[in-house]
Structure 1
């Protein structure tokens, strides 16, 4: 009998990239890659590369853990995922990180921008509206893990520090500010004031490339001097900083290792986050057929280029393993030691699915426990999986080992209409607070719920109701 040229692995629900209606999608293995094959009755067949590593794709299934729920739901189940956001009771993960967008306006007009921000777009949200959105996050989470103040460019908001004070007054464990760095580079007093919000505060700094041409293509302007000046300011006050790299295939992906090495050399930098471009929002000179990167491709670049992280050091993050991968390292006196590869991933204790065990010598175990765990003694030989493999390490301890010594590399691949998988989007843990109080996954917000996109969503919802 003739064989198919591929191996059929699974079936899921995706969406058509043209009309955003739900379609069945096969997951297949072919020529060492993982593809999604879907057919819209109106717009035809699509075949989308979703992973270049079959074994890693299957490995992600081993990192699924019991879902952690928010304390309340915001919307009912009415139209089916992804048309009910959110969060609706069908979602499978609370907000590990929630974006609080305080303005649509920006001091740049980047050719690549999921929010389509610009100096002309939108207004500054009022303190009252921001507090309403913030309260919605707190009601959902009680004690939010991370709130990221975002935009547009949040640092240009005329009430920026009042907003920061407001967020600080809430029971939020960690605050981030998502910024392009222009204000930080050009205003030392601004940075000096930022330092007063430490600890539990971090800058999420746009840092895409060292090359002028790449920056012009992604940001519309050469920001190399601005980036270095911003880092110099942040180093001066040792303000915890994550470098955030928007990756485009063939443009800046050869710089992955160089950026990691640069981050390791900076006093203030706690890690690097790599974000392949999400095909949503403003996308000038971006061809989704040729310019998209998968998580597995970025992971391999880190392994090949960093000189630090090996095959076992970049692992799926359990809350959303299809879209998040992470590696930890310990840095001290110029020596960098990867930590994540020390985990025995095969040991998940019965009834304790969040627990892992290290098989290394006692000194290494003790160091790792001091870094990542307050709930277990070093002699217990158990470490909280959740505390290690989540958005931030748990390091609120005195002494020489602390957050300054931890370096993390994260791959954060947001889903778009091309790689959309309803199984995965239900596990999305990075969310955005909608102005009306809904808490919506980042993946679906930029597809269906931002600005005029909700008008098209309403058409889809009406069609669904007509078929009942």
Structure 2
């Protein structure tokens, strides 16, 4: 390690994983990893890995954002995370709202954070409408995207009606998180969902061979996954995202193969969103040390398994793209969703696929220089009509110098794509961009062992509940979904 680089040392608030008491935690560097360590007076010491690569941690944390509070937040009385609702200390609006439309499921996966099963515990369609209205009423920016989850949402017979309702309420993106079993057996439902307005299917997809499914789900589900993808293609769905839950020693050896699989089906698969296993719900807590995998681990796996076609340097944290939201807001005068999440919550990049090769966008676009230029142009914008015209002129002039024309694939007009997004800012321009690239994302959700309340306060993925509350993803699945001490549900139906 370079002696001039200071060791990582931070103090944050966390939780005792046994009694849920808010306690102090130390985030510190140990060799080349970043650890989290905490002590509960009653239950002793706890130590876990926070991030496996200190260098990547430093790079990602350089994109730290102070966040933006939303209006209509609830008052605090017990403190984070017991006041989730969202409370007045929360520092991000809702980028993605999630509604569990049922607790029923046709699988019983041992790693399920939802702990779903056979019990029929589900909101009425009227309650779902009210939950969606809470999301759309959010100020200053209405929630733009909704995901229906569970349990297994396709077990509800009125799911197409729920999707159509979301469309009429103005959600720009309507997503479905599913294991795909019902979609594999019912092409008619695929057609009905697409016709009702479904935008994207988030398909549970743990590998390209039977073994990961047998280990993680208890049965080989690969044939059903492939059939579901084909049924969605035939139904006219143009956006499926594969969602692999990565477990160390189980399917982490297939990360590269999953991306290759997706790259060959770009007509329907638009992304791969890796989710390192979170130790909440049904999973043996004693196995967490052996199975813990963090975002830098996934980056290293992709680098190794793609023979450096994709590297760790191609990925950036969620708030990296914040300047684009500010640019579109300055140009249109309309408040935009802003990516304020904690830098350690996720990572992403875009891959262009050509001739059997996967080419990260960073190979032919200086993304760091471009984002810094956009940030500076927005900072200089004075709000006037003349200033807006000048800003557009700067964009037209500046964007080409960040593109390496010699490296851009022959059949890709990157300049036009970027200018359309930056100047038009319309959903159609963003869709056009996404149809030409494969998105690779990694979202590492927290659990009670690595919980950092500073991260929680910046969460932008929120569950909507029938009682009107919005609860951050990691808080809901670790604490509010079910009380780990007594089995009491905090999510009142």
Asked if Structure 1 and Structure 2 have the same fold, meaning a TM-score greater than 0.5 normalized by the shorter chain, the answer is yes
Q: Does structure 1 residue 433 correspond to structure 2 residue 464?
A: yes
Q: Which residue is 1:466 aligned to?
A: none
Q: For residue 248 of structure 1, report the CA deviation from its aligned partner.
A: 0.7
Contact 2:8 2:28 in 1 (8 A): yes
Q: For residue 328 of structure 1, report the CA deviation from its aligned partner.
A: 0.8
**Separation of aligned partners in 1, 2:71 and 2:33:** 39
Q: Could you list the per-position Cα deviations for residues 14-46 of structure 1 after superposition, in whole angstroms to 9, with x for gaps in the alignment?
A: 112222212211121121111112111112222
Q: Which residue is 2:209 aligned to?
A: 211
Q: Which residue is 1:390 aligned to?
A: none
Q: For residue 284 of structure 1, report the CA deviation from its aligned partner.
A: 5.1
Aligned length: 436
Q: Does structure 1 residue 261 correspond to structure 2 residue 260?
A: yes
Q: For residue 402 of structure 1, report the CA deviation from its aligned partner.
A: 4.4
Q: For residue 442 of structure 1, report the CA deviation from its aligned partner.
A: 0.5
Q: Superposition pairs for residues 248-397 of structure 1, below 5 Å?
A: 248-266=247-265, 267-283=267-283, 287-307=287-307, 308-318=309-319, 319-320=340-341, 321-331=343-353, 336-340=358-362, 342-345=365-368, 348=372, 349-350=375-376, 352=378, 359-361=402-404, 367-368=413-414, 370-372=416-418, 374=420, 376-377=422-423, 396-397=428-429
- RMSD (CA atoms): 3.0
User: Quick one: structure 1 residues 454 and 99, their matched pair in 2 at CA, closer, same or farther if it must change by over 3 Å?
Assistant: farther
Contact 1:114 1:278 in 2 (8 A): yes
Q: Could you list the per-position Cα deviations for residues 226-277 of structure 1 after superposition, in whole angstroms to 9, with x for gaps in the alignment?
A: 1111122223344110000011111000000000000111120001011011
Q: Does structure 1 residue 156 correspond to structure 2 residue 188?
A: no
Q: Superposition pairs for residues 137-286 of structure 1, below 5 Å?
A: 137-140=135-138, 143-197=142-196, 201-239=199-237, 240-266=239-265, 267-283=267-283
Once the two structures are overlaid, the 10-residue window that deviates more, 331-340 or 284-293, is: 331-340
**Separation of aligned partners in 2, 1:339 and 1:44:** 47
Q: Could you list the per-position Cα deviations for residues 183-205 of structure 1 after superposition, in whole angstroms to 9, with x for gaps in the alignment?
A: 1111111122233246x700000
Q: TM-score under structure 1 normalisation?
A: 0.85
**Separation of aligned partners in 1, 2:36 and 2:356:** 43
Q: For residue 76 of structure 1, report the CA deviation from its aligned partner.
A: 1.2
Q: 2:130 aligns with which of 132, 138, 148?
A: 132
Compare the two structures and name the one with the higher helix fraction. 2
User: Quick one: structure 1 residues 214 and 331, their matched pair in 2 at CA, closer, same or farther if it must change by over 3 Å?
Assistant: closer
Once the two structures are overlaid, the 10-residue window that deviates more, 352-361 or 139-148, is: 352-361
**Separation of aligned partners in 1, 2:290 and 2:112:** 18
**Unmatched tracts of structure 1, length 5 or more:** 1-5, 379-386, 388-393, 460-468
Q: Does structure 1 residue 450 correspond to structure 2 residue 481?
A: yes
Matched position secondary structure for 2:38:
strand
User: Quick one: structure 1 residues 351 and 286, their matched pair in 2 at CA, closer, same or farther if it must change by over 3 Å?
Assistant: farther
Once the two structures are overlaid, the 10-residue window that deviates more, 14-23 or 250-259, is: 14-23
User: Quick one: structure 1 residues 33 and 331, their matched pair in 2 at CA, closer, same or farther if it must change by over 3 Å?
Assistant: same
Q: For residue 452 of structure 1, report the CA deviation from its aligned partner.
A: 4.2
